[in-house]
Chain A
Amino acid sequence: MSDVKKIATRESYGNALKELAEEFPQLVVLDADLAAATKTGIFKKAYPERHIDCGIAECNMVGIAAGLSLVGKIPFVSSFAMFAAGRAFEQVRNSVGYPHLNVKIGATHAGITVGEDGASHQCNEDLALMRTIPGMVVMCPSDDVEARACVRAAIEHDGPVYIRFGRAAVPVINDKPDYKFEIGKGTIVREGTDVTIVATGICVDSALGAAEKLAADGISAEVVNICTIKPLDEEIIINSAKKTGKVVTVEEHSVIGGLGSAVCDCLSAKLPTPVKKVGMQDVFGESGSAADLVAKYGLDAEGVYKSVKEFV
């Protein structure tokens, strides 16, 4: 596996903004003194006059983006997920969500793969928070290809969008000629019949690894990549659950309110199915390398394999 190309989705974010800048002249990028980390610095270097550093003031930054959108700009607000979705939640809710403004939120450093900075900066709540806002599109791409596709889709979508990016380099898994991205559409990335693993973000790769191990044990796992947490592709989940009768959700996020909850909301209403939620089990993270943390919290291929094995 060591020869697999790895790119952090925050890097994809910065690159996509730069790549799309010519095509979309209304695109502007806001940051709160984290341009080097969120990778909007890539855009800033090419288009300094369209990059707005708001200083360390995320709440104001969200409001400025709201105002910019009202005079015709397509603003991308950039910060760590903890501050974009957490600190500025009410600004996102009231100044962006309620008036349904064309503001995009690019939140990097989500989840425990923030690593060494520790729990204060590891946001495991953003998907839950953003999902509660009416009209908000919530996306969590699994790799470089999907992350760049999300940025384009967000620009082409009229309305508020939240995209979650990660700090750590992750394998490129969607680099296929037939890859197509659409907001609200999930993808079956591996077919199976015994259990469905619904994963999002960097956990899609873990789910694929787990499915490989399960196959060696004679268990056929179907892996569904849900990039858009909201609106959720209910059809793909229901159809897979019909086939397998068992669902495991995997996310680098609290098991409360994120992908697992969204899948349960769907299945409990439309096709009651046993669901096991793999993710952060209502605990804070801690300092450590990203690899050590995903292993400790059971979000790597081995951890997901064990969780599924216990469940089926």
Chain B
Amino acid sequence: MNNLELRKHANDVRKGIVTSVHSAKAGHPGGSLSAADVFTFLYFEEMNIDPKNPQWEDRDRFVLSKGHTAPGLYSALAYRGFFPVEDLVTLRKLGSYLQGHPNLHTPGIDMASGSLGQGISAAVGMALGAKMDQKDFRVYTLLGDGEIEEGQVWEAAMFAGHRKLDNLCVIVDNNNLQIDGTVEEVCSPYPIDKKFEAFNFHVINVDAHDFDALRAAFNEAKETKGMPTAIILHSVKGKGVSFMENSVDWHGKAPNDAEFEVAMADLLKIEEELAKEVEA
């Protein structure tokens, strides 16, 4: 898929995030928006999946270890055709299959998650299972940079490195913000790349919002044999919505009606610019 198409899909995914969180009056837009491009890249280009057959045995797997950014994943799944985009507004509402954090009742979700540090272990288990059965599918998991303060992340990393799980790709969304402030202020996980290297990972640092860079990084991960890969995404929290960008306030808060209008106007402006690029 060309980059322009990916950028258009990513902008749709962002609209879905803002719309669903606004509708829910709760949720986590900041980390959903910072990861919107990687969600888009994974589901529209990278992963071997079939929206018509979400349980296909040989599909690539994705575990959203930073489960609070479910609005981003749900939006990508909806726009990719796993379920109707119209259902995004049911997010977090009683009876909805779009729970506050992912569970197995949503088409396309491969693992329940949200309690930080746990998703990566499940992803490691899937990758190990694939190796044991000589299956070719790959396993991807996305973690927050705050999340990696959890000790279980490093238990999982140690095991994955030890077992040389080269079918595993750990992605860290390094937007530099967590609830109580910047990650350096709270309890610095830096240097993230050196830590994964020390756990016997191949490590790639990449601009989270550049599809050429993402493509190169994920290709490099696939070509890397004998060790798992960690891709550190250098991202902007709240990316795409002017007043949410790089603001810790938008970690876990929904926009009110007025803010929603501004956010959607921001994204519509991007959409119009992208439309012009097609014409050009």
A residues whose Cβ falls under 8 Å from a Cβ of B = 28, 49-50, 52, 54-55, 57, 59-73, 75, 90-91, 94-95, 98-100
Q: Which 3 A-B pairs have the closest CB atoms?
A: A67-B125, A63-B121, A60-B155
Contact B152 A59 (CB under 8 A): yes
Contact of A70 with B115 at beta-carbon distance under 8 Å, contacts A64-B159, A99-B103 already known:
no
Q: How far is the CA of A100 from the CA of B105 in the complex (A)?
A: 11
B132 within 8 A of A: yes
Q: How far is the CB of B28 from chain A (nearest CB, A)?
A: 18
> B125 touches which one: A50, A70, A90 (CB < 8 A)?
A70
Residues from chain B with a CB closer than 8 A to the CB of A94 are 112, 114-115, 118
1/0 per residue, CB under 8 A from A, across B126-154: the answer is 11111011010001000000000001100
Contact B133 A71 (CB under 8 A): yes
Q: How far is the CA of A254 from the CA of B10 in the complex (A)?
A: 54
Contact A60 B103 (CB under 8 A): no
Contact A67 B118 (CB under 8 A): no
Number of A-B contacts (CB under 8 A): 106
Contact A67 B127 (CB under 8 A): yes
Q: How far is the CA of A55 from the CA of B152 in the complex (A)?
A: 13
Contact A67 B111 (CB under 8 A): yes
Given A70-B125, A94-B118, output 9 extra A-B contacts at Cβ < 8 Å: A59-B121, A59-B151, A62-B121, A63-B124, A63-B156, A68-B126, A73-B129, A73-B132, A90-B115
Contact A70 B159 (CB under 8 A): no
- Chain B residue at smallest Cβ distance from A28: B132
Contact of A63 with B158 at beta-carbon distance under 8 Å, contacts A70-B111, A90-B115, A99-B104 already known:
no
B173 within 8 A of A: no
> A91 touches which one: B57, B118, B130, B135 (CB < 8 A)?
B118
> B121 touches which one: A52, A55, A64, A100 (CB < 8 A)?
A64
Contact B112 A71 (CB under 8 A): no
Q: How far is the CA of A91 from the CA of B122 in the complex (A)?
A: 10
Contact A67 B123 (CB under 8 A): yes
Residues from chain A with a CB closer than 8 A to the CB of B117 are 59
Interface centre among B125, B130, B152 (most CB of A within 10 A): B125
Contact B155 A71 (CB under 8 A): no
Contact A59 B122 (CB under 8 A): no
B73 within 8 A of A: no
1/0 per residue, CB under 8 A from A, across B168-204: the answer is 0000000000000000000000000000000000000
Contact B132 A99 (CB under 8 A): no
> A54 touches which one: B115, B130, B133, B159 (CB < 8 A)?
B159
29 contacts between A and B (CB under 8 A): A49-B132, A55-B155, A55-B158, A57-B152, A57-B159, A59-B118, A60-B124, A62-B121, A63-B118, A63-B122, A63-B125, A63-B156, A64-B125, A64-B128, A65-B125, A66-B111, A67-B111, A67-B121, A68-B126, A68-B129, A71-B61, A71-B125, A71-B133, A91-B118, A91-B121, A94-B114, A94-B118, A95-B111, A99-B103
1/0 per residue, CB under 8 A from A, across B215-257: the answer is 0000000000000000000000000000000000000000000
Q: How far is the CA of A71 from the CA of B130 in the complex (A)?
A: 7
Q: How far is the CA of A61 from the CA of B159 in the complex (A)?
A: 9
Q: How far is the CA of A65 from the CA of B126 in the complex (A)?
A: 9
B13 within 8 A of A: no
Q: How far is the CA of A55 from the CA of B123 in the complex (A)?
A: 17
B166 within 8 A of A: no
Residues from chain A with a CB closer than 8 A to the CB of B12 are none
Q: How far is the CB of B46 from chain A (nearest CB, A)?
A: 19
Residues from chain B with a CB closer than 8 A to the CB of A95 are 111-112, 115, 118, 121-122
B18 within 8 A of A: no
Q: How far is the CA of A66 from the CA of B130 in the complex (A)?
A: 14
Residues from chain B with a CB closer than 8 A to the CB of A67 are 63, 111, 121-129, 139
Q: How far is the CB of A91 from chain B (nearest CB, A)?
A: 6
Contact B126 A72 (CB under 8 A): no
- Chain A residue at smallest Cβ distance from B57: A72
Residues from chain A with a CB closer than 8 A to the CB of B112 are 94-95, 98-99
> B156 touches which one: A60, A65, A69, A99 (CB < 8 A)?
A60
Residues from chain A with a CB closer than 8 A to the CB of B159 are 54-55, 57, 60, 64
Residues from chain A with a CB closer than 8 A to the CB of B111 are 66-67, 70, 95, 99
Q: How far is the CA of A54 from the CA of B163 in the complex (A)?
A: 10
B120 within 8 A of A: yes
Contact B152 A66 (CB under 8 A): no
B110 within 8 A of A: yes
Q: How far is the CA of A220 from the CA of B156 in the complex (A)?
A: 55
> A60 touches which one: B57, B61, B121, B139 (CB < 8 A)?
B121
Q: How far is the CB of B155 from chain A (nearest CB, A)?
A: 4
Q: How far is the CA of A49 from the CA of B133 in the complex (A)?
A: 11
- Chain B residue at smallest Cβ distance from A59: B152
Contact B103 A98 (CB under 8 A): yes
Contact A72 B129 (CB under 8 A): yes
Contact B126 A70 (CB under 8 A): yes
Contact A60 B126 (CB under 8 A): no
